[in-house]
Structure 1
Amino acid sequence: MPPAISLKTVTNNVGWSVLSKTSTFGLKFVTVPILARLLSPEEFGIVAVAQTVVLFLTMVGGAGLAAALIVERTEDEETIHSVFWTNLVIAIVMAAALYVFAEELSALMGAPGGGMVLQVLAFLIPIQLCGDVAYALLARRMAFDRDAFWSVLSESAGAIGAVVLALVGFGLWALVAQLFISATLRLLGLFMATGYRPRLAFSFARVLSLGRFSAGLMGSEVFNFITFQSPLIVISRILGIADAGAYSAANRFSSIPNQVVLAALMGVLFPTFSHMAEDRERRWRALFLSTQVCSLILAPMMFGLWAVAEPAMLVIFGERWAWAWPVLGLLALSKGILAPCSTFIPYLKGIGRSGVLWWVAVARAGIVTAAVAYGAVSGGLVTAMVWLCIANGLTLFFYSYAVFRADGRPFWRSFLILCRPMIIAFAMALATKVMLEMSGDAIGGPIMQLAVAGLFGAVLYAVMIVPLEWTLLKDLVQSIRRSRLAKA
């Protein structure tokens, strides 16, 4: 049986997840700029497009079966082994197909000449899918401290390996090696952490029994993937591999705050909401508080990066990438707009609303893909990013409406409360951007501009957020105190 969910359990596991993501954040903060200075936009673009294909096949190959294990009431060994063997067989078939059709797929995705990269990355699919069952077991047991250790170790080894290989001249293969090093270490770590060992046991009926939940979840995951990856493919097809590389590098860096906060929270919140599924009021309070906290933390980081994008691009990526600073800024802005939506996916997954999750994902994928394509055709890369921001604004509204209506909650009051930290953060970032534009030359070079703007924005945000969100801050402090008392 999974452990009982309490405030102590949730906060402990969120803490471990945030710790692991913060550690990898620090490493990526250093290694992404180094790799950007050593590699060209074209090299980034080829690997990014190839990785997109592999990630899509990995997600489809899993078919949502491992996620279905998380919400099962008991750990049935035959079911667990059945899911493992199903994943492995599908992974081998997909890897073989990708290897054979690599050249054609690479050209179709706008990266001609990247067939060899795709063929090599095909071997990554079984490595990634074989770890899904072990991760599902850790999530069921809320054992995120063990997952945190292996996440930090695998990501660190991969990033360091990529930098070393890039320094000695391996080019884009340094990025490919990074993926293999991280995936292999993580696979070994998950098996060690869970003690799981596959056995020759299989039940087709038990795999089918997970199908109802996993089918709806799978559909939503496919369209969520399209939402996140379609801009890269659209840009590659319409604008070329160099623009796709610039988008990929800027997206990697601007996604770091999201990876720290969202990846940590989503991994913990999915099983948490699953255990609260029968307690409507309790799960709603948990959703509301976690969403507000996400906005409180993420929105100022993302909007702040938008405000300082021009000097940040020079300092972090160097002169060769300076032309792409509007791309970095607009990507950060687009991610900040979605800050209040951060907890919606694990919430809908956890309470079994895969149908709502599916149709929202379909609508979001269509809006984002169409908006970016229109922007790319009509005005180029920067215009495409502007339209991405517009699409995310529409997503924020309709996603919130779907979640609140699915739970029978009043829309406008809940929506405004959840968006309030984001609005405050945008006001702070706008004031910082205006200050920087008016006095940038007087401040000095880009490093000094970053330092002054960062201090100005932090102080301004604190001054604004304390009186306007006093109730939220007080609830958060009380939750932390209760957690500490529970530990004592």
Structure 2
Amino acid sequence: MTGKSAPAASLRTATSWSYALSLGKMGISLGLAFVLAAMLGPRAFGVIAMALVFVNFIEMLQQQGLMPAIVSRKTLTDRHADTAFWIVIAVGAVCTIAGIASASWWAEVNGLPELAPVIRVLALTVPLTSTVVIHEALLRRQLAFKQLTIRTWVSLVSGGVAGLLGALLGLGVWALVLQQVVTATVAVVVLWTVSPWRPKFRVDRKAARELWSYSTRAASSSLGLFIGGRVDVLLTGLLFGPVVVGLYRLGQRLASTAVDVTARGMQAVALPGLAGVQGDSIAFGSRLVRMQRITAALALPLLGLLAGAAGPIEKILGPEWDGTATAIRLLAIMQAFAAISLLLGPALQAWNRPGTLSIVIWASSALKIAALVLAAWATPDDSMALVLLCLAMIVATGVSTVVIVWVSSRVLHLRVREMLRAWAPGAIAGFVAVSISGGIVRFAVLPALFELLLAGVAGAIGAGLCLWASAPEFRSMVGTLRARSVRGPKVAIAQKSVSDAAAHGPVSERA
């Protein structure tokens, strides 16, 4: 095993595969979500969301911050990897037993007896996922996103097929449970197949101590991040019930998927990509700002399109999902705040400041909890629950974004003005996208599917023209697409252009 992280030059290829992973995940997940939502209704989605909050918490505990510790460590040996593997296995087993034992308590707290057996079955996947935590960390460290992409595509398709079969057989919420179990199982099998690393049976005390210093701080950040990212579903289940959770969760999933496909790909390579230049503050800041420009230019217009086309999406889902359009529009605003600050967490980790990140994340989580409790207290009736829930999340996420931007500017020696300039082209294009697509939806009299297609195409064209006029990276991407169209598929070339811009900046800057 090499003791150093992958070279910075690998960032281009890694970004390409990371975006391929996100694109494939979006296409597969959204398609499955729409079909299963129409077949099963919001209550089933609410129950599985509430169960997954509990199980995902167990999975987070099993990692103890060891994944970022492996990815960002300057010198890594086989001793570190082997030790981390067996620690994760041991902690995962303990957490699984605790999760199964406390499933009835969590079901009772939520007033849903059917939660307990769902949690127990899902908890059985935790020992499986424990076996590939370090495999994934090593692949991320080496920027080997091709293998991670294969894992994601194969597992999602397999789980989706299983879930659809379960829905057709009338299994209800258990169709979604089957989907999760098959997805996790196939992901483990594929990752063991594509990863060349095999652990040895040894636990080195010195290696454990060396990893522990970073992992404890990273674990605190992970716990805060988990609570901040899941507290909405957790408290919504406790305060509003499974139907509101299902409506909220679908709207959130659509909005977060828009960010996943555009910004998460860059976030996935941000930690190893920035860690490679952590000793050079100028290069670090320059690379981070370029990454922010690209993610904002991709994420914000897509969120605008989603918000503008929310109406026909709700019509396609059916009357059971009444209220989803409002949730989508509001949650698109929330995800816009999340998207522009998405890279700052990995940047603080790459700058070896996980403790600072932990403080910011915990403060953000506390703010979200307070906002959600206040929303529940202020809700006059069930008809306003979903709207107030979304508004609470917008306010909490917006304030949290301001805080992490300010902290990052001080710690990383970045000017807020530079970050605002980086986000501006994407923000303008997003406003254009929502204006055009929303206008078409409001005035067009068409079947829902045609309305959705027309609004999406028109909004995308408007946003694209706006980016062409204001974003050098976008013009560079299109120019590369034209120049290299004879060499391979257009999608691959577009991804290559994005990754080139991430690693080196626009053509004008390189010159």
TM-score, normalization by structure 2: 0.88
SS in 2 for 1:210: helix
- The 8 Å contact of residues 24 and 156 in structure 1, kept in 2 or not, is answered as no
Deviates further, 226-235 or 377-386: 377-386
Give the superposition deviation at 1:332: 2.0
Give the superposition deviation at 1:395: 2.1
1:382 paired with 2:387, answer: yes
- The 8 Å contact of residues 246 and 324 in structure 1, kept in 2 or not, is answered as yes
1:402 paired with 2:403, answer: no
- The 8 Å contact of residues 303 and 336 in structure 1, kept in 2 or not, is answered as no
1:229 paired with 2:230, answer: yes
Give the superposition deviation at 1:43: 1.4
Give the superposition deviation at 1:258: 2.2
* Structure-2 separation of matches of 1:418 and 1:373: 34
Equivalent residues in 2 for 1:257-276, closer than 5 Å:
257-276=258-277
* Structure-2 separation of matches of 1:150 and 1:216: 29
Structure 1 residues 110 and 312: CA distance shift in structure 2, 3 A: same
Instruction: Give the aligned residue type for 1:336.
Output: A
- The 8 Å contact of residues 103 and 115 in structure 1, kept in 2 or not, is answered as yes
- The 8 Å contact of residues 46 and 242 in structure 2, kept in 1 or not, is answered as yes
Q: Provide the residue aligned with 2:422 in structure 1.
A: 418
* Structure-2 separation of matches of 1:224 and 1:75: 26
Instruction: Give the aligned residue type for 1:342.
Output: L
Give the superposition deviation at 1:21: 2.1
* Structure-1 separation of matches of 2:374 and 2:304: 24
Equivalent residues in 2 for 1:333-372, closer than 5 Å:
333-372=333-372
Equivalent residues in 2 for 1:51-66, closer than 5 Å:
51-66=52-67
- The 8 Å contact of residues 372 and 385 in structure 1, kept in 2 or not, is answered as no
Give the superposition deviation at 1:24: 2.3
Instruction: Give the aligned residue type for 1:402.
Output: V
* Structure-2 separation of matches of 1:36 and 1:158: 15
* Structure-1 separation of matches of 2:208 and 2:7: 27
Report Cα offsets for 1:173-220 as digits up to 9, x if no partner.
Answer: 111121221212221222222222232211233212211111111111
Q: Provide the residue aligned with 1:74 in structure 2.
A: 75
- The 8 Å contact of residues 299 and 337 in structure 1, kept in 2 or not, is answered as no
Residue correspondences, number: 480
TM-score, normalization by structure 1: 0.92
* Structure-1 separation of matches of 2:225 and 2:323: 30
Structure 1 residues 280 and 477: CA distance shift in structure 2, 3 A: farther
Instruction: Give the aligned residue type for 1:137.
Output: L
SS in 2 for 1:329: helix
Q: Provide the residue aligned with 2:487 in structure 1.
A: none
Give the superposition deviation at 1:303: 2.0
Give the superposition deviation at 1:422: 4.0
Structure 1: stretches of 5+ with no match in the other structure: none
- The 8 Å contact of residues 107 and 113 in structure 1, kept in 2 or not, is answered as no
Give the superposition deviation at 1:381: 1.3
* Structure-1 separation of matches of 2:199 and 2:434: 54
* Structure-2 separation of matches of 1:78 and 1:462: 50
Q: Provide the residue aligned with 1:243 in structure 2.
A: 244
1:391 paired with 2:392, answer: no
- The 8 Å contact of residues 47 and 176 in structure 1, kept in 2 or not, is answered as yes
> Which of residues 441, 452, 455 in structure 1 aligns to 2:454?
452
Deviates further, 26-35 or 201-210: 201-210
- Counting aligned pairs with the same residue, the percent is 22
Equivalent residues in 2 for 1:201-240, closer than 5 Å:
201-240=202-241
- The 8 Å contact of residues 296 and 339 in structure 2, kept in 1 or not, is answered as yes
Give the superposition deviation at 1:430: 4.5
Instruction: Give the aligned residue type for 1:480.
Output: S
Give the superposition deviation at 1:483: 4.9
SS in 1 for 2:323: helix
> Which of residues 489, 493, 497 in structure 2 aligns to 1:480?
497
- The 8 Å contact of residues 330 and 389 in structure 1, kept in 2 or not, is answered as yes
SS in 2 for 1:255: helix
Instruction: Give the aligned residue type for 1:454.
Output: G
Structure 1 residues 87 and 153: CA distance shift in structure 2, 3 A: same
SS in 1 for 2:198: coil
* Structure-2 separation of matches of 1:384 and 1:429: 25
Give the superposition deviation at 1:352: 1.0
SS in 1 for 2:322: helix
Give the superposition deviation at 1:146: 1.5
Give the superposition deviation at 1:437: 6.2
Deviates further, 424-433 or 393-402: 424-433
* Structure-2 separation of matches of 1:283 and 1:261: 22
Q: Provide the residue aligned with 1:5 in structure 2.
A: 7
Give the superposition deviation at 1:86: 0.8
